[in-house]
Amino acid sequence: MEQVTSVTQLSDVQPTDWAFQALESLVERYGCIAGYPDSTFRGNRALSRYEFAAGLNACLNRINQLIQTSTGELASQEDLGTLQRLQTEFAPELATLLTRVGNLEASVTQLEEQRFSTTTRLRGEILFAVSGVGGGEVNNQDGDANVVLSNRVELNLDTSFSGQDLLRTRLAAQNTPNFATVTGTNFAKLSFTGNNENDIQIGGLFYRYPVTEQAIVYFGIIGIGFGDFTPTLNPYINNSLLGTVSNFAGESQLFGLNGGTGFGLEYRISRAVRLSLGYLASNTNQAETGLFGGRYGAIAQVTLYPTDSLSVGLTYIHSYNIVTGKGSRNAEDPFNGAALSTNAYGLQASYQVSPNFNISGWTGLINARAESQPNKGSDAKIFTWALSFALPDVGGLGNLLGFVIGQPPKAIENDVVGREDPDTSLHLEAFYRYQITDNIAITPGFFVVTNPEHNANNDLIYVGTVRTSFVF
The full 3-state SS of the chain, as one line of letters, equals CCCCCCCCCCCEECCCCHHHHHHHHHHHHHCCCCCCCCCCCCCCCCEEHHHHHHHHHHHHHHHHHHHHHCCCCCCCHHHHHHHHHHHHHCHHHHHHHHHHHHHHHHHHHHHHHHCCCCCEEEEEEEEEEEEEEEECCECCECCCCCCEEEEEEEEEEEECCCCCCEEEEEEEEEEECCCHHHHCCHHHCECCCEECCCCCEEEEEEEEEECCCCEEEEEEEEEEEHHHCCCCCCCCCCCCCCCCCECCCCCCHHHHCCEEEEEEEEEEEECCEEEEEEEEECCCCCCCCCCCCCCEEEEEEEEECCCCCEEEEEEEEEECCCCCCCCCHHHHCCCCCCCEEEEEEEEEEEEEEECCEEEEEEEEEEEEEECCCCCCCCEEEEEEEEEEEEEECCCCCCCEEEEEEEEEEEEEEECCCCCCCCCCCEEEEEEEEEECCCCEEEEEEEEEEECHHHCCCCCCEEEEEEEEEEEC
Give the pLDDT score at 2. 44
Give the pLDDT score at 363. 98
Please give the residue that has the higher pLDDT: either 77 or 253.
Answer: 253
Please give the residue that has the higher pLDDT: either 12 or 451.
Answer: 451
Residue 251 pLDDT > 50: yes
What Rg do the C-alpha atoms of the chain give, in angstroms?
A: 33
**Per-residue pLDDT reduced to its tens digit, 294-336:** 789 999 999 999 999 999 999 999 999 999 999 999 999 999 9
Closest among 456, 420, 209, 238 to 329, alpha carbons compared: 420
Q: What is the mean pLDDT of residues 192-198?
A: 95
Tell me the CATH number of domain 120-471, given options 3.30.420.40, 3.30.565.10, 2.40.160.10, 3.40.50.2020: 2.40.160.10
**Per-residue pLDDT reduced to its tens digit, 18-42:** 888 788 887 877 777 765 555 455 5
Closest among 333, 364, 335, 319 to 453, alpha carbons compared: 333
Q: What is the mean pLDDT of residues 421-448?
A: 98
Q: CB–CB of 228/220 below 8 Å?
A: yes
Give the pLDDT score at 462. 96
Q: CB–CB of 5/50 below 8 Å?
A: yes
**Per-residue pLDDT reduced to its tens digit, 105-114:** 787 777 666 6
Residues 6+ apart with CB under 8 A from 247: 186, 189, 190, 191, 193, 325, 326
Residue 71 pLDDT > 60: no
Q: CB–CB of 318/270 below 8 Å?
A: no
Q: CB–CB of 242/400 below 8 Å?
A: yes
Q: What is the mean pLDDT of residues 198-218?
A: 96
Residue 118 pLDDT > 70: no
Lowest mean pLDDT among 13-22, 128-137, 145-154, 240-249: 13-22
Q: What is the mean pLDDT of residues 380-398?
A: 97
φ and ψ at residue 81, rounded to 5 degrees: -65, -40
Domain boundaries, the chain: 12-114, 120-471
Q: Which residues of 28-43 are buried (b: 16+ CB within 10 A; e: fewer)?
A: eebebbeeeeeeebeb
Q: CB–CB of 5/104 below 8 Å?
A: no
Give the pLDDT score at 291. 82
Please give the residue that has the higher pLDDT: either 96 or 344.
Answer: 344
In this structure, is the dihedral angle defined by the CA atoms of residues 247, 248, 249 and 251, taken in order, positive or negative?
Answer: positive
Lowest mean pLDDT among 74-78, 186-190, 208-212, 247-251: 74-78
Residue 460 pLDDT > 70: yes
Lowest mean pLDDT among 143-147, 405-409, 464-468: 143-147
